[in-house]
Amino acid sequence: MKIGLLSDTHNSRDNTRRALDVFRERGVSRLIHCGDFTSPEIILLFAGWDVTFVFGNGDYAQAELSDAARQIGVQPPQRSRELEIDGVRIGVTHGHDVDLLYRMMFSGRFTYLCHGHTHERRNELRSAYRVRLINPGALGGSCPQSRSIALLDTAANSVEFIEFPQWA
């Protein structure tokens, strides 16, 4: 299954819309957002998508963000999630709680562990723990790096980063 990964949208509506357009063009229907959406308006852009959200350190208005998720018919964000998609176990957390990220990595429960927070793309196999750590990069924020999303293909065990250097 192809799963769209995104993180750190930081209230960037235009970049989020463009990312969703790319996922739609690629035929992706399942999404994971690794946190730091920062506003309920960003969550509302995901209406009609099968999406999982986790809270990031910039997601202060948690009650409003949870209400927005319910409004579009998905589960409210949590600090972390454990998913099983097509028989593959996927852990999701934002990554700012390093102890939580490491506990999830060390647990041996996941094939993939998705996170954000650093705004840096990552695709690393941690063979000692039999887990692949994936960070899709950031879609927003004040750092001057390029913007990116990722496409995880669980059937092919591959990760493709889609970079958008022209995005602000």
pLDDT of residue 145 exceeding 80: no
**In total, how many domains does the chain have?**
1
- pLDDT computed for residue 167 by the predictor: 53
Cβ atoms within 10 Å of 17's Cβ, excluding its own: 11
User: 111 is in which domain, residue-wise?
Assistant: 2-164
Q: Output the pTM of the full model.
A: 0.96
pLDDT of residue 7 exceeding 60: yes
Cβ atoms within 10 Å of 58's Cβ, excluding its own: 19
pLDDT in tens, 8-55: 999 999 999 999 999 999 999 899 999 999 999 999 999 999 999 999
Q: b/e for 86-102, b at 16 or more Cβ within 10 A?
A: eebbbbbbbbbbeebbe
- pLDDT computed for residue 164 by the predictor: 84
Sheet hosting strand 147-153, strand order edge to edge: 50-53, 30-33, 2-6, 147-153, 158-164
Indicate which CATH number applies to the domain containing 113. Answer: 3.60.21.10
pLDDT in tens, 96-122: 999 999 999 999 999 999 999 999 999
- Please report, rounded to a whole number, the percentage of residues in the chain having pLDDT higher than 70: 97
Q: How confident is the model at residue 166 (pLDDT cuts 50, 70, 90)?
A: low
pLDDT of residue 142 exceeding 90: no
Residues in the chain: 168
